[in-house]
Amino acid sequence: MAHIASTASATFLALQRGTRQRSKIFPSFSTCRGIHPFFFTNSPRKRLQVRLSSSGTNRSNGDIVEISKSEKKLSNYAWPDSRKPRVCILGGGFGGLYTALRLESLVWSDDKKPQVLLVDQCERFVFKPMLYELLSGEVDEWEIAPRFSDLLANTSIQFLQDRVKLLHPSDHWGRDGPPASSCGGTVHLESGLSIEYDWLVLALGAEAKLDFVPGATQFALPFTTLEDAIKVNNNIKTLERKYFGKDSQISVAVVGCGYAGVELAATVAERLKDKGVVRAINAENMICPTAPPGNREAALKVLSSRKVELLLGYLVRCIRRESDLESSDTLTGEGEKQGNQAVHDSDKYVLELQPTERGLQRRVLEADLVLWTVGSKSSLTQIEPSDLSLPLPLNGRGQAETDETLRVKGHPRIFALGDSSALRDSHGRILPATAQVAFQQADFAGWNLWAAINGRPLLPFRFQNLGEMMTLGRNDAAISPSFIEGLTLEGEIGHTARKLAYLLRLPTDEHKLKVGISWFFKSAIDSVASLQSTLTKVLSGS
């Protein structure tokens, strides 16, 4: 087991009580394996989560272990077996969870099978490409956001709910660490828990970046997490109640017309129908510039049919609350005025748009809801390595530079994938931060960890683009498979194919079966309802 030596713990606590010049303290360690205080024992078949409690006592509630704030001290995670390799995976998205499941599925000798610990700040895995279906009501939360404890119940993978605070890698001293240690380093969590590892996987994902536009952080809602989707859904419900029975329409502004922006705009416009107007803003003069032409054309047709106003060639300069303005008489722009008087509402927001091309005029928009889909930053920027360690090589986006085997450069015991990795393709371009890339990288990361632990050659990662999919609302989607050039499946066919493809990519066979049954019955109910509606229309017409 990896633990903090008593002298290092004393040093750290002393520094923590003293005056600090930095916002974080980075502990040093004299050894990585040794005698240490027991924190808790993990059963290989038992899921364990850690949460902080404000009370002064520990409480055990099923699989939840709560740690009181008074006991938030340096503790060491107790691995079940000190002789077997220890793999710590940070992040439970497509990259992290699927790497853990891949390790579980491989064939190991008894002494080489690693202990795998998955750490994530949330209690649920989120199948992010289907968050839009929460807004349309096509799926239930449990279907696309199952709990880690449920997914991993029949595996030996351990799960810890906590947030990463800082890293202390030691593999830069050599493949086997410093002379006194054989571990790869230590991870420190916000709860005060430290985890020593032999191998580390960085798959922390990314988070929305709104702070580069004034007012966006305060007034715009991102759409990247389950919490974001729930918040957006609740805001739309509030607006639907507010405008119920009124002549005025709900105004929604979607910033960004990449895949996320287009999917969000199409879904929201379909939900609001005639009760609202959706405006989608994009700096470029086309939507989904990297998408296959078939997907782009299908999206344009759907957006046009739902009367989504596309404002292409505009940047958002700032967002302000209308009630904070001294007067709205000087506002200009189309669709925001009734006669010569601007609409006043303390809950509305004002977006100032700057044209990016000649010939376009400055615009000012009003919106009841602003949805943000542009800009992201790697979550690696939220943690720091120890002062005593070689820093991780990060690029300007906060992603770790990796070699073609997904190992972080200069750190042979650390792998990075998904949004945490800055892996380049054969043309020197960084691979896109998509679920498809992370899904494929997880398979390679799992295999290369097996190879590294067993002393076998590691395989270089090669991304295979299988095509691109996008949802455009209930029973509507577009798919352009890469293996058939020029083919695009649209409408209900595309929608069915997309759901089947995602069903096959759900994490475990048990979850696939449950979700498959649920979707089958929902489809059957919808078909019966549609048939009844059709018969009613026919009979009423006759």
pLDDT in tens, 475-492: 999 999 998 888 999 999
Of the listed ranges 249-263, 411-425, 460-474, 520-534, the least confidently predicted one is: 520-534
Counted residue by residue, the chain has a size of 542
Cα 316 to Cα 364, 366, 376: the distances in Å are 10, 12, 16
pLDDT value of residue 40: 34
Cα 281 to Cα 252, 346, 460, 470: the distances in Å are 11, 23, 39, 18
**pLDDT, average across residues 373-398:** 81
- At residue 44, does pLDDT exceed 60? no
Measured between alpha carbons, how far is 476 from 382 in angstroms, rounded to an integer?
38
* pLDDT tens per residue, range 332-347: 444 443 333 333 345 7
Nearest Cα to Cα of residue 97 among 46, 184, 159:
159
Nearest Cα to Cα of residue 369 among 231, 234, 250, 259:
250
Measured between alpha carbons, how far is 475 from 141 in angstroms, rounded to an integer?
19
Positive or negative torsion for Cα 104, 110, 113, 115:
positive
HSE-CB of 354 using CA atoms within 13 angstroms: 7
User: What's the mean per-residue pLDDT of the chain?
Assistant: 82
pLDDT value of residue 382: 83
Q: What percent of the chain has pLDDT over 90?
A: 65
**What's the gap between Cα 6 and its chain centre?**
38
Q: Are strands 199-202 and 206-208 parallel, antiparallel or unpaired?
A: unpaired
| Res. 134 pLDDT band, cuts 50 70 90 | very high
Helix, strand or coil, per DSSP, at residue 443 = helix
